[in-house]
Amino acid sequence: MKNKYLPFLLIAMVAACTAPQPQKIKDPLEINRTIGQRYFEEVWNQGKVDLLDSLLAPGYINHTPSAPTVPGPEGLKPIVLAIRKAFPDLHYEIQDMIPAPGYLTMRVVMTGTQQDTLFGLPPTGKPVKVLQINIEKIVDGRIAEHWRVTDELTMMKQLGVVK
């Protein structure tokens, strides 16, 4: 008699386990943080420039480029490659992230040793440690616009270009 309910119990347990679970709503601020982390870790630190095709909007605008660029991922790829070539040990460390609806502000520290030409500056063999502030405008899960302030005077002093 006890076993006649067993099949119903098993069916109920299976149904409960396979029932669709409510989807978690993703926090847009957390999505923006993830985009910023991937941008610096995977693109700049690891050199995965093809990832820019999915991280940047097709019409991406770099308002403070290191060299003149065209809009979109194709404009940033050569800059990433040039800086990584000049600083083969390039590393960005995110110090702070401040997400806001549609924006992400990051304070980062760039370190590396200049081993190759950097936008016309011959290799110095000297290490640098430079502070940057980056502001990213994020639209539909992609970086659409970028602004950056770099302590370039400190970098030039560290490279021995200015005293």
pLDDT digits over 91-110, tens only?
A: 999 999 999 999 999 999 99
Give me the CATH topology for the region 27-158: Nuclear Transport Factor 2; Chain: A, (3.10.450)
What is the mean predicted confidence (pLDDT) over 49-61? 97
Predicted TM-score (pTM) of this structure: 0.81
Backbone angles phi and psi of 102, in degrees to 5: 80, 0
Residue 117 has pLDDT above 60, yes or no: yes
pLDDT for 7 equals 62
| Domain spans of the chain, in order of start | 27-158
What is the tally of helices (H) and strands (E) in the chain?
5, 5
Q: Minimum mean pLDDT among 36-45, 52-61, 67-76, 90-99: which range? A: 67-76
